[in-house]
Each structure stands twice: as C-alpha cells, then as structure tokens.
Structure 1
Amino acid sequence: MRRKQLWFLIAALIMVNCLTIAFFLAKGNTANGAGLKKDVVATVGKKGILRQDWLNELEARYGKDVLKDMIDQKVIKEMAKKYKITVSNQDVEREFRMIQTTYRSSNEKKQEDEKRWKEQIRNSLLLEEILTKDVAVSDQERKNYFNQNKDLFDIPSAFHLSQIIVKTEAEAEKSLKELSQGSSFSTMAMERSIDEFSANDGGDIGYITEDDDRYPLEYVLTAKTLKAGEWSKPVKVEQGYAIIKLEGKIKGESYSYQEVKEEIRRQIALEQMKVPASARTFWDEAKVSWFYGKEKSND
C-alpha cells in the first residue's frame, strides 16, 4: 500500500513540475516577444488563442496547487537541512527500480525524466524521515514486519517491451522483413499496429512482469530469449500476431533485512502516527508566506 501511495505522490509531483515548466517557458517567451504573432498558441479557423489567455487559464486552474507543491518541496529541503536528515542513494535507487516495474510510460526511458523521478523519490523519502524522526521502532518490530512481508521488498524481473500487432501472420512476416531492411520499429508501430493504445507511443507498452495479467505470458517468455534492441518472430495473440521488441530489462532482486530496515522503520512509524505524509505540517516552522495568504498546516 505504501509503495502505491508513493507512486501516486511522485506522479502528481511530476505533473506539477511539467505544468510549472510549461507555465514559465510560456511566460518567458511572452516577455521576450509581447505583441508578436508568435503569441498566438493555437488557431481555430480564423480565430486565435493568445498565449496570455492560455497562461491565465493555466494559473486559474492549477496555479494554487502548483505553487503549493513548489513550496512543499522547498520546505522538505529546509527541514532536512535543519534536522541533518539524508536519504541514501541506495534507497532512492531501490524505490525507483520498484516503481519502474509498475509504471506504464515510454517517457521512463528518457534520461531527464529518470532524473526527475529520482529527485521526487528522494523528496518523498526525506519527508517520511522528517515526519518520523522522533518515532522509536524496536529492532524486533522491524524484523517481525520483514518476516511477514518479505515479498514487499522483492523487485521482480521486468521487461520493457514494444509491440507491433497485425491481423495476419503474412502481415507479420512482411513487417519482419521490412524491419530487417532497416525500417524503424516505432514508426512501423504507429503506422501499422492495430493496437491503438500502444501504437500512439510507437508500440511502447512499458515494463511488464510474469504476473502482469494485461499481456499474454508468451510476452515475458519471448522477452527472456531476446537481447536489448532485438525483436521476436511473430507471436500469436488474441488480436492477431505480435512482434515483440525488447527495449530493456530490470533484473529481479531480493533485499535483505539490513538493506531495508530503515524503510521498514519509516513504514511502521507512519502507520503508528496515522497522519498523512504532508509537508504542510512544517509550514509554520519553515515560516512560509505566499500569494494566497495564510494556509492551515493540515490543508
């Protein structure tokens, strides 16, 4: 449960980051070219939508939430510095790899997005450490928790796959021939695959594991025979025939008690406290003031 909550928190923070970047990039462009034709960001027939109207709408819809989350991230860093709290790179990497195995997006393969994910994971773990810094959890409690929930700390082997699905085996063989002649897998997926959801992402279906019920087990069995960058022979599926490409993989791993005992301490402490993991708790201590006025610490 905790890992799902962490995933949703991180996903929300990344969305906030994207909105923030879009807002300030657009605002910067406006400042550098006010009144120019490039201030029109879209046209419908002969009517245009001005950049400033777009920015106003962004601020009206998301401005308060974006600013609140930006403040939260600053508060986390300030409190971590004040209480000399750090999070190890090993903890961040472990959480990142676990989330990777369940996140379904082609964006995860981009280096800049990976860096953003890890930064949000670090902030989330720092917040948990700050919230639970005064909560004592015995070593026996932690060991009991570990022995009862060992599977929570296992990272399953996961395979990052792309697919092209066509109706007939003949179409699949034709596609294989074109791929062997240098055609782009992602372009072919967009143009030819009958699975519209993945076709829009160039065939990318993200990471899947053996217990993933969204795809046939044959996908994982086929992926195990491939090297990164290789594609398979046609695989019979419900929609027709699939060609599977292995983009990358995560090797499964089980962690020892010593490696995860601090994560267990945080989890038990948070459950004992029965409070939401929110940086708002420290706004008064961090002396936050903002555009929207006084904010309740539990808001």
Structure 2
Amino acid sequence: MLYIFCLLSPLLYLFTSPSVASEPLSTEAAMEAVALPEVDVVAEVNGQKIGRQELSELLIESFGEQALDVLIRRAIIYQQAQKLGITVDPQEVTERLNKLLDGEINALVKARGMKDSSELAEEIKQMGMDLPTMRERMAARIRKGMETELLAEKIVERTVIVTEEELQQAFEEEYGEKIEACQIVVSTKKEAEDLLKKLKAGADFETLARNESIDRLSAAGGGRIRPFGPKEGVFGPATAKLEKGEISDIIKTDEGYHILKVINKKPRAHEKFKDVRPELEKLVKQRTVKKRLGPWLASLLERADIKKYLATY
C-alpha cells in the first residue's frame, strides 16, 4: 500500500535515470541563467546554470498531479490521526523501512541473477556509490510515506474486531494440513483434455506448465502455487484424496481450466490453538487492516473538502 503515500518506488532510480533533452539556450536565457543567485542554482552544465525554478516547473509538469494527490492523502490521514490522538514511534518507521528495503534489495538481487547482495554492492560501487549510502537515500525518500502508512494502519486497526470464527479459520490456514501442488491453466476444456492425455502418457508436468500455462506467474516456477488446505477453495476438495505425485482431473474456475499435480502433503502442525492465539489475532488484524485500508481512505477523500489549484499554477 506504500504507493498510496509515496510518489515513486524507491528502486525506480537504482539503475535508470531520467534524461531530459535540453535545447540550446538563447543569449538572453543564458544571461538570465548566469545571473541566478547561487542559492537558486541546482546544477551547472559547462558553465550554464540550471535554476531551482526550472527544476520545480519540470517536476510539476511531469509529476505534479500525482504528487499533489499523495500530499492530499497524507494531509487527510494526519488530520484524522491528530483527531484521534494516534502517533507513530520513529523506531516503528525505521523497522518497517528496513524490512521493506531488505525485501526490495533481495528482489533486485534475484531479478538480476546475482548470488547475493555483495554482487549488487560491487555493481553499485562501479556507479560511484556504496550500498549503505543507497539504502540511506532510499529510506529518506520514502520515510514520510512509510510514517503515513503506519498512521493509517493504526487508525483502521481501531475499527477491527476479531471473531472466534476468523481465528479458527486462520489457525487452519496456518497450522492445518497443507497440500503442496503445481498447476497448468489453459483457456479451453479441449486444451485441458489434450494436456491431460499427454500427462497420463508420461509428459513432464513442470515442462508443460512452463510452456503451456496461461498463468505466467506460476508457470515461471514450473506451476508451483501457494500451499492450501484440503477444504480450502476449489483446489482443496479436488486434490484432498490424491497421493503425492498424482494428477487431478480438470478443474474449472473463473481463471480457466486447471490441472493440478500434488507435490507433497504436510500433516497438521502440533501447535495448540490456545498457544498461538495471540499470534493469530495479530495475523487476522493485519489481514483485515490491509483489506479495509483502501476503502477507508477512499471514504475519507469523498467526504473531505478538497480544492486543487495546480492547473492555475
């Protein structure tokens, strides 16, 4: 949800940088640039000075509407937090930032096919920066947005009442029996029937998943999907009686026609409900807050008296 409270992703600038074609200045414009007070100069290019006003105009032209919406959302959330007496500890913000940045950096390492962050650090070093400095700059860029997000979560959390039914459901999801499976998804029943014949004839499931499945997210991992319980959704009952390595019949959903292969079955964990209840309450609250956050903010925006003057800037 951070995108609601920040202008841009912190990794947007890591290995790309915006380039703006600059036309030659007229003699008058060049004289004006040279005459700029030093405090208003943000850069010099071969003696030509670029002023703060020029930078501001470009940023407003490029991101003005989007940035203004971010500031409006932040203002509304801070007003609501002040009204309710809700604050955020700076340490909370730092901890959330570190968790986010660790995830972003790990994702970048994986996306670039690197072994670990040391390879990323070396690549960043070649760009004239070090990894700790990069983290600091990323954190500074999104810290205000993170603080706003935490405030919003705390406000919404006050409205959440966790029921016993939700706790029991969460307990089953977290500690109940789990089926690990991979899938192939196609658009038509005929395609699914043809694939099922190939699988029964000995075709490799993961290879077919990578090449034929229309769900490209799972296809990239050979069809692997999130583990599910034997009573969960459509997949649970359809695979509950299958043994490891067995293949399901064709399963119809809104996404298409699925064929599943059971990779493993994990038995119910030994934890007792009463022992993990506090953890479950926290988990259910987090899920509910995440689900309610968007509609809650939209409702605040609808009721707020907002006037925009950017068009007349």
TM-score (norm 2): 0.38
For normalisation by structure 1, the TM-score amounts to: 0.39
Greater relative contact order: 1 or 2 (C-alpha under 8 angstroms, separation 6 or more)?
Answer: 1
